């Protein structure tokens, strides 16, 4: 079986994204470097125009569509950031967009999608429920489905983060990447391993509802029950008919950690208080893993993929309360 995503695919994606998605900065965190006796770098996908890394994959996919497909519009199911990215890319390319979301998606992310001119449809209690509506739009209205992760063009678009990372820090020892459907980790892992096979790619998921990790443990894609989390962007299944990312993640990921809600909360508040950054839970899980599991990174050059800024004041208050009153 051929590779679902190659290094060549990622270079082609970068060509499509030129002038569209931002090349985001990689900055050294003085506070984290001092604390962990390492060089800890932050890859700031929070500075994408849509506020998250998802823009890369969405643009790469939508830019590949024919003019006839663009005229019929695009649709997707999303936990928030992908929907926002599809809405942004569709508006840029003049296509109608319908974004299907579950009831677990925070209201601020729904509002951000609508502000970009897309229609947001809230359907059911899971991403799988939302996908039923998206697939109906494909079947009945001929809209193009923009997969959140399980598409080689999506994963290749996210992989451009890995290219930038290795160009800016070719001596990278380890990258910590949030793991959900696998498009982000799979794409980054392919790029990083393609340049430096000795670099370690570490995935991080929330404690419960980690579909990819449960699927890897089972040896096949499995369903999981979604639960509310500060890292809501990491929710959702990987699809029982997963065609791309299950195999990709299994190949490029070296190790994995699950993190608790208090650990995610502490990491979010570190970014807010020490780095002066608004960072959503899914973007803070790399730091959460290092702290909660006491991972020894001394002397290493480490990158944390800070994947998105989709957080509001209410969520930050919940994070603070979780730390101050953990039994509540």
Q: Is the pLDDT of residue 3 over 60?
A: yes
Taking only the tens place, the pLDDT of each residue in 34-76 is 999 999 999 999 999 989 999 999 999 999 999 999 999 999 9
Q: Are residues 210 and 301 in the same domain?
A: yes
Q: Is the pLDDT of residue 328 over 70?
A: no
Taking only the tens place, the pLDDT of each residue in 84-132 is 999 999 998 899 999 999 888 888 889 989 999 999 999 988 877 898 9
Q: Which neighbouring-strand residues pair with 39?
A: 301
| Number of domains the chain contains | 2
Kind plus residue range of the DSSP H or E element containing 210:
none
Q: Are residues 202 and 99 in the same domain?
A: no
Residue 326: its pLDDT value, please? 60
Q: Are residues 312 and 201 in the same domain?
A: yes
Is residue 2 domain-resident? no
Task: Determine the structural domain holding residue 21 and report its residue range.
Answer: 7-53+151-324
Three-state secondary structure string covering 42-80: EEEHHHCCCCECHHHHHHHHHCCCCHHHHHHCEEEEECC
Residue 2: its pLDDT value, please? 60
Taking only the tens place, the pLDDT of each residue in 151-179 is 999 999 999 999 999 999 999 999 999 99
Q: Which residues belong to the active site? A: 54, 307
Q: Are residues 127 and 14 in the same domain?
A: no
pLDDT, average across residues 264-277: 96
Of the residues 145, 170, 199, which one is the last residue of a structural domain?
145
Is residue 242 domain-resident? yes
**Predicted model pTM:** 0.92
Q: Are residues 129 and 230 in the same domain?
A: no
Question: Which residues touch 116 (CB under 8 Å, ≥6 apart)?
Answer: 84, 87, 88, 91
Q: Are residues 59 and 48 in the same domain?
A: no
Residue 1: its pLDDT value, please? 47
């Amino acid at each position: 079986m051929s590779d679902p995503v190659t290094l060549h695919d990622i270079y082609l994606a970068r060509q499509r994204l030129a002038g569209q998605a931002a090349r985001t900065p990689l900055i050294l965190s003085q506070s984290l470097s001092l604390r962990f006796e390492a060089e800890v770098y932050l890859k700031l996908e929070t500075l994408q125009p849509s506020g998250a890394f998802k823009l890369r994959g969405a643009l790469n996919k939508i830019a590949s569509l024919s003019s006839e497909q663009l005229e019929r519009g695009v649709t997707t199911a999303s936990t928030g950031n992908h929907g926002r990215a599809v809405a942004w890319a569709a508006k840029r390319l003049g296509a109608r967009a319908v974004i299907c979301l579950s009831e677990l998606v925070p209201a601020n992310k729904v509002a951000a999608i609508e502000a970009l001119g897309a229609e947001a449809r809230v359907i059911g209690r899971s991403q799988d429920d939302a996908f039923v509506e998206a697939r109906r739009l494909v079947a009945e209205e001929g809209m193009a489905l923009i997969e959140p992760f399980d598409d080689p063009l999506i994963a290749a678009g996210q992989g451009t983060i890995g290219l930038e990372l290795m160009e800016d820090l070719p001596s990278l020892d380890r990258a910590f990447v949030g793991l959900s459907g696998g498009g982000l980790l799979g794409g980054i892992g392919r790029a990083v391993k393609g340049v430096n096979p000795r670099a370690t790619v570490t995935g991080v998921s929330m404690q419960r509802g980690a579909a990819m990790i449960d699927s890897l443990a089972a040896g096949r894609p499995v369903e999981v029950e979604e639960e509310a989390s500060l890292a809501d962007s990491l929710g959702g299944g990987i699809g029982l008919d997963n065609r791309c990312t299950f195999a990709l993640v299994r190949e490029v990921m070296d190790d994995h950690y699950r993190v608790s809600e208090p650990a995610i909360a502490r990491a979010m508040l570190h970014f807010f208080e020490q780095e002066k950054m608004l960072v959503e839970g899914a973007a803070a899980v790399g730091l959460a893993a290092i702290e909660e599991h006491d991972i020894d990174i001394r002397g290493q050059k480490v990158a944390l993929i800070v994947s998105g800024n989709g957080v509001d004041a209410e969520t930050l208050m919940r994070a603070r309360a979780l730390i101050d009153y953990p039994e509540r």
